[in-house]
């Protein structure tokens, strides 16, 4: 009798599964990633696998490949899985990738999680779409096996539930990262085989229908095609600290820039000099290193933000044009303000008719020619533009 899976609204019915001498078999534990959580909309983008038998996982016999889908990977899926369009660029299409996988699995029995609900139906759909034979390997879904071994469990059987039952740390399981789970699936299946052995179960057979609850929670990775709402990756603790540092440095350096202007002397109404010494220079010594750190952090944040966007195939000529125009406009204003300062001083220090003739290149009357709101904004704008450029040229590198 051939295995049959009948999908119901909130469960599925498994029948006809029969694997003789299950503890003597060889297994291929695998998992995959796809472009959607719904089988009818999904394409495989990654397959990972490891071989094992009842003696343990053969960690030296692993398989992994990316698979290039027919279209771009939606950004919510890329964010959830960590697989971006740049990652699959140059990877084989499904027929070749699937062929490599079946060659690795050979005649092993498949073992996976969620296999009857998603993994096998997706492989079958992909094979049909590409005119390939469906996988002939028998398949064990550890979710259904746990339901068969523990009929007393009435709740939906999750990976976390099985991990808790078999004594695994639940923190080692990262939701949404299926490829990172195939080793974990193998360890759970290993414990299940020990349970089969302890119960003296030699053959894995379900002649009678087995009802298993389906995954009922709304998908966190499905794509809303009716809107452009996109979730950006949540900030890590270190990234939050960097953002906080940027804000603190921004307000601090803006304040210091204003103080430079405050302590820069102006000419008297009759054109005479109005003070000696350059107290603003002390502020400059504090401002310059803090401002340099701010520019570095701003450029790094800009690079991170734009590179995350570009990994999904996003590129905006409008954004680049905006940054270029903004930088050019601020540069023009900064140059104009520079010449205005020295015009009011009737020339630079090297000009004999200047009010500040023979003063130092940096003096108490011309501080603001170099440090002002325009030069401050110009540095920020340049750091954003440089971050964009670095992101563009490194966008194909995997983070």
Least confident of 108-122, 156-170, 301-315: 301-315
- Identify whether residues 263 and 383 lie together within a single domain: yes
- Pick the more confident residue, 308 or 258: 258
Position 366 scores a pLDDT of 75
Residue 178 lies in a domain: yes
Residue 218 lies in a domain: no
- Identify whether residues 175 and 241 lie together within a single domain: no
- Identify whether residues 193 and 246 lie together within a single domain: no
- Identify whether residues 249 and 146 lie together within a single domain: no
Q: How far apart are CA 301 and CA 394, in angstroms?
A: 14
CA 42 to chain centre: 20
- Identify whether residues 171 and 310 lie together within a single domain: no
How many Cα atoms occupy the beta-carbon half-sphere of 384 within 13 Å? Answer: 16
Task: State the DSSP string of 97-145.
Answer: HHHHHHHHHTTPEEEESSIIIIIHHHHHHHHHHHT-PPP-S-EEEHHHH
- Identify whether residues 137 and 199 lie together within a single domain: yes
- Identify whether residues 142 and 254 lie together within a single domain: no
3-state class (DSSP) for residue 31: strand
User: What would the two tokens of residue 14 be?
Assistant: 């498994």
Q: In sequence order, which residues have a C-beta less than 8 Å from that of residue 39 and are 6 or more positions away?
A: 118, 121, 122, 125
Look at residue 46 and tell me whether its pLDDT is greater than 90. Answer: yes
- Identify whether residues 203 and 312 lie together within a single domain: no
The mean per-residue pLDDT over the stretch 230-258 comes to 80
Between the alpha carbon of residue 51 and those of residues 33, 61, 63, 107, 115, the distances in Å are 19, 6, 9, 11, 17
- Identify whether residues 202 and 246 lie together within a single domain: no
- The residue among 178, 213, 248 that closes a domain is 213
- Identify whether residues 139 and 245 lie together within a single domain: no
Between the alpha carbon of residue 137 and those of residues 2, 102, 395, the distances in Å are 12, 9, 39
Q: Which helix (H) or strand (E) holds 59?
A: strand 56-66
Model pLDDT for residues 136-191, shown as the tens digit of each residue: 899 999 999 999 999 998 888 999 999 999 988 755 544 444 445 889 999 999 99
Give me the number of domains the chain comprises.
2
User: What would the two tokens of residue 261 be?
Assistant: 């202007």
Residue 21 lies in a domain: yes
CA 372 to chain centre: 38
What pTM, to 2 d.p., does this model score?
0.57
- The residue among 197, 213, 229 that closes a domain is 213
Residue 265 lies in a domain: yes
Residue 159 lies in a domain: yes
CATH number at residue 78: 3.30.420.10
- Identify whether residues 47 and 98 lie together within a single domain: yes
Residue 228 lies in a domain: no
Structural domain of 350 = 237-393
pLDDT-based confidence at residue 80 (cuts at 50, 70, 90) = confident
CA 355 to chain centre: 58
- Pick the more confident residue, 395 or 394: 394
3-state class (DSSP) for residue 182: helix
Model pLDDT for residues 259-284, shown as the tens digit of each residue: 988 887 665 544 554 555 678 888 99
- Identify whether residues 196 and 302 lie together within a single domain: no
């Amino acid at each position: 009798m051939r295995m049959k899976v009948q999908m119901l609204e909130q469960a599925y019915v498994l029948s006809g599964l029969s694997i003789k001498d299950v503890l003597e078999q060889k297994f291929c534990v695998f998992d995959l990633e796809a472009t959607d959580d719904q089988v009818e909309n999904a394409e495989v983008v990654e397959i990972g696998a490891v071989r094992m038998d009842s003696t343990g996982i053969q960690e030296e016999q692993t398989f992994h490949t990316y698979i290039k889908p027919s279209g771009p990977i939606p950004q919510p899926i890329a964010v959830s899985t960590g697989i971006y369009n740049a990652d699959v660029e140059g990877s084989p299409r499904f027929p070749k990738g699937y062929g490599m996988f079946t060659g690795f699995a050979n005649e092993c029995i498949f073992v996976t999680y969620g296999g009857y609900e998603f993994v096998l139906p997706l492989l079958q759909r992909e094979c049909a779409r590409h005119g390939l034979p469906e996988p002939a390997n028998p398949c064990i879904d550890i979710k259904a096996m746990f339901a068969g071994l523990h009929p007393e469990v009435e709740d939906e059987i999750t990976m976390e539930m099985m991990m808790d039952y078999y004594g695994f740390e639940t923190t080692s399981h990262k939701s949404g990262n299926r490829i990172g789970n195939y080793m974990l699936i193998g360890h759970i299946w290993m414990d299940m085989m020990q349970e089969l052995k302890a119960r003296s179960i030699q053959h894995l057979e379900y002649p009678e229908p087995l009802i298993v609850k389906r995954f009922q929670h709304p998908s966190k990775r499905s794509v809303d095609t009716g809107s452009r709402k996109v979730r950006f990756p949540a900030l890590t603790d270190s990234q939050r600290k960097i953002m906080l540092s940027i804000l603190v440095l921004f307000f601090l350096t803006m304040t210091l820039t204003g103080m430079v202007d405050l302590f820069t002397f102006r000419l008297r109404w009759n054109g005479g000099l109005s003070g000696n010494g350059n107290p603003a220079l002390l502020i400059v010594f504090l401002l310059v290193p803090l401002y340099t750190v701010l520019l570095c952090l701003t450029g790094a944040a800009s690079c991170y933000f734009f590179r995350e966007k570009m990994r999904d195939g996003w590129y905006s000529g409008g954004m680049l044009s905006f940054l270029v125009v903004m930088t050019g406009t601020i540069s023009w204003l900064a140059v104009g303000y520079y010449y205005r300062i020295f015009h009011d001083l009737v020339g630079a220090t090297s000009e004999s008719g200047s009010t500040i003739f023979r003063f130092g290149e940096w003096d108490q009357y011309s501080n603001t020619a170099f440090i002002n709101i325009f030069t401050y904004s110009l540095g920020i704008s340049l750091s954003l533009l440089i971050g964009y450029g670095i992101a563009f040229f490194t966008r194909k590198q995997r983070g």
